[in-house]
Structure 1
Amino acid sequence: MSSGPARTRLTHAERRATILDAAARVIVAHGVHGFRLQDVADEAGVSQPLVSSHVDDRDELIAASFVRVDERELEAVEADARSAEPGRAAIVRFLRRATFPAGPDDGGGTIVGGDGWELWSQVSSRARFSPVVRDAVRARQAAWIAALAGLLRDGRAGEDVPAHVDAERVALLLITVSDGLGPALNCGLVDDDGARSVLADALDGALR
């Protein structure tokens, strides 16, 4: 009598990835200060001791899950931006995908602006108290700035980005504006049109 197909055993790396993805979802659902390791275990379909075997402590779990999700998000946003014409079009697409929830007009495919914003918000609140989490947030912020700076440098080849523009400084400014718009959108301080206008004004001013 056949017992059915054999179950594929996950590798250590695959199991860790499953746990980190589950942790990100749990942080969004329960808050970074309110979730339990058991919540992560339940979400991942594993035991709590197995979760603990993949990370040294709670803060490492928070940092590692955040980095894993954010790396995927940045990769998707940057790839989408680079599919546009180099210059302002690519820069605007990057900023919009980084600021607003993904939707039909934006190509979809990421959680930036939706759960991604909530994950950033939750993890950043923990960064104040945890060097491990703070280092992860700083590194990911730097990665977003570097990606946008690359688009700005590419734009110098055309007429959209003046040669004198400091790509890293302008990228820092624009990412800071985008970061500020996320919470403003979530609480209704601005609507989508207002946020797009703020982004356009910031970009116009930065590229003078």
Structure 2
Amino acid sequence: MPRTKDEALTEKRRNEILDAAARVFVRHGFHRASMRQICGEAKLSAGAVYNYFPSKDQIIEGLAAREQEEIAELAAYLAETDNAQKALTGAIRLMVEDTNAADARLYVELTAEAGRNALVRERLVATDAALQECLLEAIRRGQAQGSVTKARPAADLLALLTAVYEGFVGRLAVDGDSECKAFAKLAADAVAILLKP
């Protein structure tokens, strides 16, 4: 069912606030960021922002929900592609390519905050579990069809894929967007070698 004009406007405004909050979190850190700074970054009154997100914790919930949607899209892509090895290689490449330096820095910031904030930790654990599940399912499918090596258990291959992705995202946080395309190709090449039967 198509969204009404009001629903589309609400979704647009929510995303604008989430984007503004992400920029503030990257600049100031989640712990030091204030709702006032988020309102200023979003160029909205406090009342408007609080109408959508009554607290920073609610913003974290919103960011996590957005991440879950992206993971659902990735899971669908992995399930729809016949050759699991090619799907996984392409997925890692796209994941790195679609991550800009600001996204990488936000991930690093939220990971650090997870050590202090139980809600942030809970949300990160949930999104990570969803991502791990869809990757593991694709690895197992690839092993069953012969497009992914069986020399290592699927869980080991998952750990290696995760390390490749998180390593490149960590480098993006430091090196910036200029390295994004090069890192995406390197990540895809590394995954292709790791998964080759």
Distance of aligned partners of 1:195 and 1:52 in 2 relative to their CA distance in 1, 3 Å threshold: closer
Which residue in 1 is equivalent to 2:94?
A: 97
Contact 1:86/1:151 (8 A) holds in 2? no
1:160 maps onto 2:147 in alignment = yes
Contact 1:126/1:133 (8 A) holds in 2? yes
Superimposed CA distance per residue, residues 74-115 of structure 1 (whole angstroms, 9 cap, x where no aligned partner): 34444555564422111101111222x33xxxxxxxxx2443
Kindly report which structure 2 residues correspond to 1:1-208, keeping only aligned pairs within 5 A, or say none.
14=11, 19-52=17-50, 54-55=52-53, 57-58=55-56, 60-81=57-78, 84-99=81-96, 101-102=97-98, 112-162=99-149, 166-188=153-175, 193=182, 196-197=185-186, 200-201=189-190, 204-205=193-194
| Unmatched runs of 5 consecutive residues or more in structure 1 | 1-7, 103-111
Contact 1:88/1:161 (8 A) holds in 2? yes
Distance of aligned partners of 1:10 and 1:89 in 2 relative to their CA distance in 1, 3 Å threshold: closer
Shift of 1:137: 0.9
Contact 1:21/1:69 (8 A) holds in 2? no
Q: Which amino acid aligns with 1:120?
A: Y
| Unmatched runs of 5 consecutive residues or more in structure 2 | none
Higher relative contact order (CA 8 A, sep 6+): 2
Distance of aligned partners of 1:199 and 1:16 in 2 relative to their CA distance in 1, 3 Å threshold: closer
Cα distance in 1, alignment partners of residues 188 and 154 from structure 2: 16
Contact 2:105/2:173 (8 A) holds in 1? no
Larger Rg over CA atoms: 1
Distance of aligned partners of 1:62 and 1:26 in 2 relative to their CA distance in 1, 3 Å threshold: same
* TM-score of the aligned structures, taking structure 1 as reference length: 0.68
Shift of 1:10: 6.0
- Which moves more between the two structures, 149-158 or 69-78? 69-78
- Secondary structure of the structure 1 residue equivalent to 2:145: coil
Q: Which amino acid aligns with 2:89?
A: V
- Equivalences, count: 189
Cα distance in 2, alignment partners of residues 92 and 85 from structure 1: 13
